[in-house]
Amino acid sequence: MKLENKVAVITGAGSGMGRAIAVLFAKEGAKVIAADLNEESVQSVVKEITETGGEATAVVTNVAKEEDINVMIDTAVEKYGTLDILVNNAGIMDNFVPAKDLSNELWERVLAVNTTGPMFAIRKVLPLFLEKKSGVIINNASIGGLFGSRAGAAYTASKHAVIGLTKNVGFQYANEGIRCNAIAPGGVNTNIGTTMSEPNPFGMERAMSGAVNNPRSGESEEIATVALFLASEDSSFVNGQVITADGGWTAY
């Protein structure tokens, strides 16, 4: 098992990619703190893990709230004595809203969840990782963080910021035994669409104009295997990088 006796915190673990990562990490021997805003869904994934012999604890977490992030990390240490892996997976979409129509409220909400939340979590875990001279951080960035129009203005900006944060943390703490990498998934079959209500017609048309070139949609389990690689010693020489997992879409 590649993560035996490791302790991992995973945000957005109640569904989609976060759930698949939590299940796979537990299967590979990790003790999992499954964090999600939806209590029912996060309890469900913990039940799935424990019923198959794994170890997991649910924590209801709004990643936009620093106090919730602090409780999430503190729970890992209190429950399992340490923390080895942080996966910042939780995220929301932005209804494809272009810059002209972007409200302050939408901008602030998307940045709070997609960018500020990961920053809160990274800032909280760094003292733990520095003390033990080891630790792995994985950020879910999306191809929206690599290209200009895979979503609206707020989502695109938020994911570009996550990639910048990933590279900064990865390099600055490289000599301290800490690695920080990101995954940039393409189209993946998840329920993130439920975070959208009324897509902006203009923004959606522009963002989806390249969708015809997408060879296929991925599954959450395919992203989870990339996260496992980044969390394990298999990627010991990979740091400050973004791994694109999109079936070849952005190779066009």
Task: Please tell me the distance from the alpha carbon of residue 5 to that of residue 249, in angstroms, as a whole number.
Answer: 36
Non-local (6+) Cβ contacts of 231 within 8 A are: 2, 3, 6, 8, 25, 30, 85, 87, 136, 138
Task: Please tell me the distance from the alpha carbon of residue 150 to that of residue 65, in angstroms, as a whole number.
Answer: 27
Looking up tokens 């964090």, which residue turns up?
35
Looking up tokens 């809160």, which residue turns up?
120
Q: Is 32 exposed, middle or buried (0-12, 13-18, 19+ CB in 10 A)?
A: buried
CA distance to 46, 84, 207, 225, 239, per residue, from 222 (Å):
20, 22, 24, 5, 21
What are phi and psi for residue 85, nearest 5 degrees? -135, 130
Non-local (6+) Cβ contacts of 232 within 8 A are: 2, 3, 28
Q: Is 101 exposed, middle or buried (0-12, 13-18, 19+ CB in 10 A)?
A: middle
Q: Is 155 a catalytic residue?
A: yes
Please identify every residue annotated as catalytic.
155
